[in-house]
């Protein structure tokens, strides 16, 4: 695997991760809330001027604009890590369908076909009244039939 730890990307990843963690903290909320209160209280001092309003509008617009990119980068990284973890779980489970690895790359129509399939699996499991019943994409009907036969024999 080629190492891509050169250039701006790793620095941006570290910075965006740090900013995302700090921005989501209670302290960040308290600071933002305090700044809004301070701005509101300063209204009479500045006679509620256009400049006074422009300060809050411009500040919040700039912060929002920059945070969109920071949060999106962090979310993309987290999503990729979750996909890799799920892919590992799918690949390691003998009865799991390997077709589901990289399912996020399927088209919307293909995803809807899979969703309908899993709805059918859910309906089968509900009929069985068994919280532990499980089916893979490839073996659902076979497993369902085998489980029913085993249950009838006992």
Q: Is residue 3 part of a domain?
A: no
Residue that terminates a domain, selected from 44, 64, 92 = 92
DSSP state, 105? G
pLDDT cut 90: percent of the chain above it: 45
Q: Is residue 53 part of a domain?
A: yes
| Domain coverage including residue 32 | 10-92
Same domain, 86 and 27: yes
Give the span between the Cα atoms of 71 and 64, in whole angstroms: 10
pLDDT score for 62:
97
Same domain, 74 and 141: no
pLDDT score for 153:
82
Q: Is residue 69 part of a domain?
A: yes
Q: Is residue 4 part of a domain?
A: no
Same domain, 36 and 88: yes
Crossing angle of helices 140-153 and 108-128, in 10° steps, is 0
Quick check: helix, strand or coil at residue 122? helix
How many structural domains compose the chain? 2
Residue that terminates a domain, selected from 92, 125, 140 = 92
- 10 Å CB burial of residue 135 (0-12, 13-18, 19+) is buried
Same domain, 88 and 42: yes
Tokens linked to 15: 């910075």
Same domain, 68 and 115: no
pLDDT score for 51:
95
Contact residues for 52 (Cβ-Cβ < 8 A; gap 6+): 39, 42, 43, 46
Residue that terminates a domain, selected from 48, 68, 92 = 92
pLDDT score for 3:
53
pLDDT score for 120:
82
pLDDT score for 143:
67
Identify which of 99, 75, 76 has the alpha carbon closest to the alpha carbon of residue 87. Answer: 99
> DSSP E strands: which ranges in the chain?
none
* Residues lower than pLDDT 50 in the chain: 1
Same domain, 45 and 84: yes
pLDDT score for 152:
79
Same domain, 16 and 87: yes
């Amino acid at each position: 695997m080629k190492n891509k730890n050169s250039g701006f990307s790793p620095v941006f990843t570290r910075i965006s991760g740090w900013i995302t963690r700090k921005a989501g903290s209670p302290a960040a909320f308290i600071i933002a809330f305090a700044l809004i209160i301070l701005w509101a209280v300063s209204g009479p001092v500045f006679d509620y001027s256009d400049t006074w309003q422009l300060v809050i509008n411009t500040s919040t617009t700039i912060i929002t604009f920059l945070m969109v990119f920071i949060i999106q980068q962090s979310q993309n990284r987290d999503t990729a890590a979750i996909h890799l973890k799920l892919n590992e779980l799918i690949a390691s489970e003998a009865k799991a369908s390997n077709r589901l690895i990289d399912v996020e790359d399927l088209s919307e129509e293909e995803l809807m076909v899979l969703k309908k399939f899993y709805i059918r699996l859910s309906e089968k499991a509900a009929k069985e009244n068994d919280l532990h019943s499980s089916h893979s994409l490839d073996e659902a009907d076979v497993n369902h039939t085998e489980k029913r036969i085993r249950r009838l024999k006992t």
